[in-house]
Amino acid sequence: MQKVNIAPRKRRTRLVTIGDFEVETRGLATGFWTDLYHRSMTVSWPAFFASAALIFVFLNTVFAVLYMLGHHPVANVSDDLALSLFYFSIETLATVGYGDMHPQTNYGHLVATVEIFTGMSFLAVMTGLIFARFSRPKARFVFAKYPVVGNRQGQPTLMIRVANARHNTISQATARLWLVREERMAEGDVVRRFHELILDRSEHPVFSLSWTLYHAIDETSPLYRMDQEELAAADAVLVLNLGGIDDNSAQRLSARKVYSQEDIRWQHRYVDITGDSPQGRLLLDYTKFDDVMPEATSGDG
């Protein structure tokens, strides 16, 4: 008997975006039908409603065809049979029931019963998905465009400025900063390693305005004696995770920012955004939030 070689099923290449980085993955099943909930929660609003509209039109088309298979299953149908049955399907699926057209045979009642059940299920699913999308907490944390490395109290320090754009109170705010870089193991293979960068203050009791995170680059820091060229050779990135509890909704909020080594500004510091308003109040000028300046011109010595 001749041996038949069955070629393995090809699986699509996927493009995954993490921060500003794009990664191609290959060899995993997409799981479209088994992960519909995740796709419904993560797709954009226009795509979500466009998909729902297409499903709605498709279902009504299917049931209109089913009605056409029967012998006059619906009363008071106009000469334009296909379009009239499509409209009748919409009324039935939406459980509107205007009354002009109605089932008049057992077959028509049977199809209408199945369609009503389908419409009620579709409405329940759509209501749940829309509620879940609207009720899902979403943070409005603002991250500075560039991390900076400069001197703070005579110590080289990595600094990242963040802010709460809503200006509401975020309780138990926490921040964790990670350095991700390639490292060569003793066996010769290259792997990506995660190193947590210890922050001077990783918690904020009442985060409502701005917050600058500091990581001292001392002997215990993974960044110790590293420069921009070494970080570039290691394909290093910084990953900042920020979270807290929104006092208004009592929900947990979280956000993430990924910086490449090219984003780091060495021997720089942030431009001060604080000042006094004409009324004598503290002023925070967020138009300068992303501005940095070389340390030599900062005036801090």
**Segment 34-77, tens digit of pLDDT:** 677 778 888 888 999 999 999 999 999 999 999 999 999 999 88
Share of the chain above pLDDT 70, in %: 87
Q: Which two tokens stand for residue 243?
A: 């979270």
Token digits of residue 170? 């975020």
Q: What is the pTM of this model?
A: 0.71
CA-CA distance, 68 to 257, in Å (whole number)?
56
Closest among 60, 21, 161 to 52, alpha carbons compared: 60
Could you tell me the domains of the chain? 14-135 (1.10.287.70), 141-297 (2.60.40.1400)
Cβ(246)–Cβ(208) below 8 Å = no
Please determine, for residue 283, whether its predicted confidence score (pLDDT) is greater than 50.
Answer: yes
The backbone region for 237, taken as left when phi is positive above 0, alpha when psi lies in -120 to 50, beta otherwise, is beta
User: Mean pLDDT over residues 24-35, rounded?
Assistant: 62
User: Closest Cα to residue 291, out of 164, 165, 144, 150?
Assistant: 144
First to last CA, the chain: 86
Of 128-132, 246-250, 295-299, the least confident? 295-299
206-218, pLDDT tens digit by residue? Answer: 898 899 999 999 9
For the cut 50, the answer to whether the pLDDT of residue 300 exceeds it is no
3-class secondary-structure state, position 210: strand
Would you call 209 helix, strand, or coil by DSSP?
Answer: coil
CA atoms within 13 A on the CB side of 53: 6
For residue 238, give the nearest of 265, 222, 260, 214 by alpha carbon: 260
Q: Could you tell me the pLDDT band of residue 268, with boundaries at 50, 70 and 90?
A: very high
C-alpha 264/C-alpha 255 separation (Å) is 20
Contact 121, 95 (CB under 8 A): no
How far apart CA 17 and CA 90 sit, in angstroms, is 39
pLDDT of residue 243: 94
Q: Residues 145-153: what's their mean pLDDT?
A: 94
Q: Tell me how far CA of residue 234 lies from CA of 96, 230, 258, in angstroms.
A: 63, 6, 16
Residue 256 binned pLDDT confidence (cut-offs 50, 70, 90): very high
Residue in the block written with tokens 């431009």: 271
- Across-strand partners of 16? 23
